[in-house]
């Protein structure tokens, strides 16, 4: 049997044996050389070690747009001042008077120097990193040597957050062994903490799969060291996730009939649940958990939508019953969409919004616990998230069927694949900001295309000349020459077509993040089957890491796999 289908353990038990070295801690701070100075109000100022370290975090980010944002600057300055000595606090009172320029230049130069190292130096550095990876990057789990995902603690620095996160710029503190809980098996060799330190706790909990954990200081959330996605444990979990989504396929029609019926329910609670479920199903919205007041960014999901997040339009842009959504979703990413909904949904929303303030909950009788309990009753293992996985995967499969032209060359087929993937990313609202280098790299590509067009035109002239010559001389040598010139022309035309496809792809993709759905929402067997069916090398779609993560699917799926 393959390693994906080994013996099953009792429910809830994740391993019998777990042994590892504990996390690898980031090396301590190295002070700046004497000649690299910080200036305050134009005068050099020697900083204490802790203050200097935090100054370097800001200095390194000077060329990043984060440091231009007021909220980032304020959070940084507030946290930085907390760590200063009382003398420093007396002097440093205004961020605008701080000059980090010299420190910034020092790190830029250091970076350039590292890039310019001779090959053997680079090789030496790589060998050192590999040694650490060998020592800390693997664990023994039930007799298998498994790769660990993130075996290093995160280095201290300034919090960035995604979207417009209100805590950006805050100080992410250094993780110490005293912060860390170790999890391993009782009879294993328990990891040693670094010299002079001790662990916060060592526990032997085989109902969880993490190896170590700590609480990070900004969001107060738990961080874990987990196995690498390519490990057997993660692979099984991934596979099961898609199997649950495939089970939804068989009952989704019943569920849809049920929530349609519930739109007319006598109980308002049921109506709200049914409208929310329609959004989760049709728009792939996230469920949206309840959150503690003031602890994080004001982001919402379906259940936590407020009246101010939607607008109703009986008619808009030639469509009827349009709901206009505008809210910040997970990671403070804005969700903006105008959707024509079914009439009973529209009527219900009007009812739910009646006599309410903008800041009132849209579904005040609904929370995720109530919703997920209902979903569990409809199908074992069903949660709101399964709808996202199901709708993403089914969309990819249908789009691939609709868009792939078997006659296309590999580049053309890959464009179709990326378009299908884009349809999913748009459904899931996976956006990115336009990359900083986008305009420049697009311009470079356009210049290449223009140059190639010129070559094609010249080659066309050459073919014509050769044909005329052959007409005049009827000579065998001239005939060979015609063929040669035609071949060249054909090759150049293919190159031009590839470049044009690349430009189309790049332009369509500039604001869309494909990675999230590819890694988390799309059953990899759909992609593997498509590649096998159309003779596309799998590495054109999945890089090495992704191929390792999806090894189970590459093993399992034949070309006729149907999600």
> What are the catalytic residues?
521
Residues 6+ apart with CB under 8 A from 463: 482, 485, 486, 489
Alpha-helix residue ranges (DSSP H) falling in 263-383: 268-283, 343-353, 368-378
Closest by CA position to 94, among listed 81, 84, 104, 85: 81
DSSP H or E run through 109: helix 101-115
Structure tokens given for 443: 């311009």
Q: Which residue has the tokens 């053309």?
A: 412
Q: Whole-angstrom Cα distance, residue 95 to residue 460?
A: 63
DSSP H or E run through 529: helix 524-534
Q: Whole-angstrom Cα distance, residue 49 to residue 37?
A: 13
Rg (CA), the chain: 29
DSSP letters spanning 282-297: HH---------TTSS-
Asked if residue 215 lies in contact with residue 229, where contact means CB atoms within 8 angstroms, the answer is no
Instruction: Taking the CA atoms of 259, 251, 249 and 302 in sequence, report the sign of the dihedral they define.
Output: positive
Residues 6+ apart with CB under 8 A from 469: 478, 481
Asked if residue 426 lies in contact with residue 410, where contact means CB atoms within 8 angstroms, the answer is no
Residues 6+ apart with CB under 8 A from 508: 418, 419, 422
Asked if residue 242 lies in contact with residue 392, where contact means CB atoms within 8 angstroms, the answer is no
Q: Whole-angstrom Cα distance, residue 362 to residue 304?
A: 7
- DSSP code of 405? -
The 334-340 sheet, strands edge to edge: 310-316, 319-328, 334-340
Neighbours of 451 (CB within 10 A): 12
Q: Whole-angstrom Cα distance, residue 540 to residue 461?
A: 35
Helices 232-262 and 368-378: crossing angle in degrees, nearest 10, is 90
- Of the CA atoms within 13 Å of residue 254, those in its CB half-sphere come to 9
What is the β-pairing status of strands 181-183 and 201-203? parallel
């Amino acid at each position: 049997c393959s390693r994906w289908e080994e013996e099953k353990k009792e429910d809830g038990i994740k391993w019998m044996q777990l042994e590892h070295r504990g996390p690898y801690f980031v090396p301590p701070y190295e002070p700046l050389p004497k000649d690299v100075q910080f200036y305050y109000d134009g005068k050099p100022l020697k900083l204490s070690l802790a203050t200097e370290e935090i100054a370097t975090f800001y200095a390194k980010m000077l060329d990043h747009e984060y440091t231009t944002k007021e909220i980032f600057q304020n959070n940084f300055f507030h946290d930085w001042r907390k760590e200063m000595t009382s003398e420093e606090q007396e002097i440093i009172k205004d961020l605008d008077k701080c000059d980090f320029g010299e420190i910034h230049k020092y790190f830029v130069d250091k970076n350039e120097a590292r890039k310019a190292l001779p090959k053997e130096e680079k090789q030496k550095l790589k060998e050192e990193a590999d040694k650490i990876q060998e020592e800390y990057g693997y664990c023994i789990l039930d007799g298998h040597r498994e790769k660990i995902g993130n075996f290093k603690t995160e280095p201290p620095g300034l919090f960035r957050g995604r979207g417009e996160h209100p805590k950006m710029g805050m100080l992410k503190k250094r993780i110490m062994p005293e912060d860390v809980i170790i999890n391993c098996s009782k009879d294993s060799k328990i990891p040693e903490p670094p010299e002079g330190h001790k662990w916060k706790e060592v526990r032997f909990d085989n109902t969880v799969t993490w190896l170590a954990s700590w609480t990070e200081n900004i969001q107060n959330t738990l961080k874990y060291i987990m196995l690498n996605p390519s490990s057997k444990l993660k692979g099984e979990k991934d596979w099961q996730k898609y199997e649950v989504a495939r089970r939804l396929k068989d009952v989704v029609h019943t569920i849809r009939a049920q929530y349609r019926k519930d739109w007319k329910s006598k109980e308002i609670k049921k109506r709200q649940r049914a409208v929310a479920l329609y959004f989760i199903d049709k728009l792939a919205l996230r469920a949206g958990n309840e959150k503690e007041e003031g602890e994080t960014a004001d982001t919402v999901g379906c259940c936590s939508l407020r009246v101010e997040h939607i607008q109703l339009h009986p008619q808009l842009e030639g469509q009827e019953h349009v709901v206009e959504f505008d809210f910040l979703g997970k990671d403070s990413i804005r969700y903006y969409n105008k959707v024509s909904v079914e009439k009973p949904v529209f009527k219900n929303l009007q009812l739910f919004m009646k006599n309410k303030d903008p800041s009132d909950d849209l579904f005040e009788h609904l929370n995720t616990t109530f919703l997920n309990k209902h979903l569990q009753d409809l199908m074992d293992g069903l949660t709101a998230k399964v709808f996202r996985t199901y709708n993403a995967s089914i969309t990819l499969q249908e789009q691939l069927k609709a868009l792939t032209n078997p006659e296309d060359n590999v580049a053309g087929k890959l464009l179709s694949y990326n378009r299908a993937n884009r349809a999913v990313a748009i459904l899931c609202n996976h956006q990115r900001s336009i990359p900083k280098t986008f305009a420049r790299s697009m311009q470079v590509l356009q210049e290449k295309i223009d140059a190639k067009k010129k070559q094609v035109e010249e080659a066309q002239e050459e073919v014509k000349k050769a044909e005329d010559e052959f007409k005049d001389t009827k000579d065998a040598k001239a005939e060979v020459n015609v063929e040669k010139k035609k071949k060249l022309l054909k090759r150049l035309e293919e190159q031009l077509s590839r470049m044009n496809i690349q430009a189309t792809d790049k332009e369509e993709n500039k604001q869309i993040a494909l990675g999230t759905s590819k890694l988390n929402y799309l059953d990899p067997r759909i992609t593997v089957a498509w590649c096998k069916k159309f003779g596309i090398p799998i590495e054109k779609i999945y890089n090495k890491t992704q191929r390792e993560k999806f090894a189970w699917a590459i093993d399992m799926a034949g070309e006729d796999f149907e999600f």
